[in-house]
Structure 1
Amino acid sequence: MTLEEIEFELEMAGLSREQQVKILSSVKRGGYDAKVLDQKLRLMGFPPAFSIYDDDEEDTNNKTE
């Protein structure tokens, strides 16, 4: 998932620009991990938004094996 896609999802979830910047900075440092991002969203009081993409990637990987 690109930074632009992550930013869009964060905006759709209702995060303020400041909150978006914090999470995007975290992704730049540590990479994209749907479970970690959803955990951060939960801690900030927002519903998870990224696990659905993680499940899609696992399904795709299983089909190609």
Structure 2
Amino acid sequence: MTIEEIAFELELAGLRIEEQRMLLSSIRRSGFDAKMLDRKLIGMGYAPVFTIYDDENDAYISNVKK
């Protein structure tokens, strides 16, 4: 996902502009991690947005990072 697509999804989720900026800044620093971003959204009181991830893909990514 591009940063613009992520920003659009956050806007649709109803995040305030300050919250969007904070999350987008974090993504620019650390990269996009769908599960982590959803955990942050849940912690902020929002429903998860980026729930389209696949356990098989996660296993593949974990093996690649090692």
TM-score, normalised by the number of residues in structure 1: 0.81
| Aligned counterpart, 2:25 | 25
2 CA distance for matches of 1:51 and 1:31?
Answer: 17
2 CA distance for matches of 1:2 and 1:22?
Answer: 16
The amino acid that maps onto 1:14 is G
Q: How far is the alpha carbon of 1:51 from its aligned partner? A: 1.8
SS of 2:46's equivalent? coil
TM-score, normalised by the number of residues in structure 2: 0.80
Number of residue pairs the alignment of both structures matches: 57
| Aligned counterpart, 2:4 | 4
Segments of structure 2 that go 5 or more residues without pairing to the other structure are 61-66
2 CA distance for matches of 1:40 and 1:9?
Answer: 14
Structure whose residues are more often helix by fraction: 1
Q: 4+ runs of 1 displaced by more than 3 Å?
A: none
| Aligned counterpart, 1:48 | 48
Percent of paired sites with the same residue:
57
Segments of structure 1 that go 5 or more residues without pairing to the other structure are none
